[in-house]
Amino acid sequence: MPGLEDLYREIILDHYRNPRNRGELETPPALRVEGFNPLCGDEIVLYLDFDADGGVADIRISGQGCSISQSSASMMSAAVKGKSVVEIDDLTRAFKAMMSIHENTLEGAETTEAIDAPEVKLGDLEALRGVVKFPVRIKCATLAWNTLAQGIEEASA
């Protein structure tokens, strides 16, 4: 049975208590994009400054949510700030692969390695791996990433 320490790793609690890149950026030039988790009422607002090539030059986060969604957003912001579109895309795919549930995970087996995840170092984000053992919380962890993807899509449209 997964315990609380699988979910609430120390590094997650650190990002929850001391969130990175919290705040707002002036719009425009920044793009403002909102994400909601309709099941629990969590909401996240991302402010994104893009560089000339479409990479994320700067990022700020506001909104409210649980420790998992807040810390995931904080870690995400630290991971993507200053990265190119391609690097962010790789990170996003690697993170989502880590978050994907496979049938054997649902039956209680250990998490399987993601099948087509790019070769990317997830760093602090690895701490969120335990979330897959708590399926209802996966949406909390992916909210910031889905919102980022939406922002990048809007910016390139």
Partner 1 sequence: MVISLDPIDGTAMKAQFPLLSRDVHGKPIVYLDSAATSQKPLAVLDAMDDYYRTINSNVHRGVYMIAEEATNRMEIARALLRDFLGARSSSEIIFTKNATEALNLVALGWGRANLVAGDVVVLSHMEHHANIVPWHMLVAEIGIELRWIPLDNEGRLDLTDLDTLLNGAKVLSVTAMSNVLGTINPVRTLTDAARKAGAISIIDGCQSVPHSATNVQELGADFVAFSGHKMCGPTGIGVLYGREELLEAMPPFLGGGEMIRDVRLDGFTTNDLPWKFEAGTPPIAEIIGLGAAVEWLNGVGMDNIRAHEIALTDYTISTLHERFGDRIRIHGPSSPAERGGVFSFDFDGLHPHDISQVLDQHAVCVRAGHHCAKPLMKLLGIGATARASVYVYNDTADIDALADALDATGAFFTL
Binding region for partner 1 (CB under 8 A) out of 19-27, 59-67, 103-111, 113-121:
59-67
In the list 33, 140, 144, 148, the residue contacting partner 1 (rule: CB under 8 A) is 140
Quick check: 64 and 42 in contact, CB under 8 A? yes
In the list 6, 8, 87, 118, the residue contacting partner 1 (rule: CB under 8 A) is 8
Give the whole-angstrom CA distance, residue 111 versus residue 114. Answer: 9
Closest approach of partner 1 to the CB of residue 140, in Å:
7
Residue with tokens 């690697």: 94
In the list 11, 31, 67, 114, the residue contacting partner 1 (rule: CB under 8 A) is 67
Quick check: 74 and 21 in contact, CB under 8 A? yes
Q: Is the dihedral of CA 54, 59, 62, 64 positive or negative?
A: positive
Closest approach of partner 1 to the CB of residue 8, in Å:
7
- Contact between 3 and partner 1 (CB under 8 A)? yes
